[in-house]
Structure 1
């Protein structure tokens, strides 16, 4: 595999809807691509979108939402299966949060896969209840 480049997007150089749909499908996130217009609107409304590319092909994406002053929420981190285990995910997360180092809360919600827990812990995140006080609540729409 050629070198992976990581870059923050501006509003005018976000990945195309086709690229986004292909990447999300490659990791099985079909709930997002059922309404591709909404997903693209979400990307445009994000505080920061960071992409990983090999040559010109999109192989990863991370985005942060929030107010950028008191809370930043890591909404998505995706790495295509053929680009995994190359450090792409960690690079995406670090670059996504780079402008927000002074923000008090960096938050994310993820599923219960063991690999994900280890991945996020390697980036300095701690799960609530693992010596971290607090509660997390979430409500998903159908």
Structure 2
């Protein structure tokens, strides 16, 4: 790939283009309405090549010092070229500019090297699955 995809902070994104990216990137993706998610986000970063959405990361915040990375997604055609790191680092810089001082991410063990390359360090954390009551 000869050109570097352009990054944009909080661009307008349609459900169609996000669902297309997620369907190409995540085998179990089901069509989602993204507007309600983006309405609650601190920021998101999108990457486009020739007008096509090829990368995305969402960041939510607690209204204070903490920001959380969600849904780092790079189209399979664009992987292993540094785009994921560019997305996460851009999101970190923007979250910092908006007042966040701690940047959190949860990930599967296989993604540990990727997130380490973005600057994250491993910490202890807890997770509790929430199951709706029937």
Q: TM-score range by the shorter chain?
A: 0.7 to 0.9
Partner of 1:131: none
Partner of 2:8: 7
RMSD in angstroms over aligned alpha carbons? Answer: 2.0
Partner of 2:23: 25
TM-score, normalised relative to structure 2: 0.84
* Contact 2:43-2:95 within 8 A present in 1 as well: no
Partner of 2:126: 136
Structure 1 residue 137: Cα displacement: 1.9
The alpha-carbon distance between structure 1 residues 89 and 41, as it changes in their structure 2 partners (threshold 3 A), is same
Does the residue aligned with 2:55 lie in a helix, a strand or coil? strand
Pick from 90, 102, 105: which aligns with 2:102? 105
| Residues 1-142 of structure 1 aligned to structure 2 (within 5 Å) | 1=1, 2-9=3-10, 13-28=11-26, 30-31=28-29, 33-34=30-31, 36-37=32-33, 39-101=34-96, 103-113=100-110, 116-128=111-123, 134-141=124-131
Deviations 1:35-65 (A, max 9, x none): x12x331023210011000010000000100
Instruction: Report the count of equivalent residues.
Output: 129
TM-score, normalised relative to structure 1: 0.80
The alpha-carbon distance between structure 1 residues 94 and 24, as it changes in their structure 2 partners (threshold 3 A), is same
Runs of 5+ consecutive residues of structure 2 not aligned to the other structure: none
Runs of 4+ that moved beyond 4 A: none
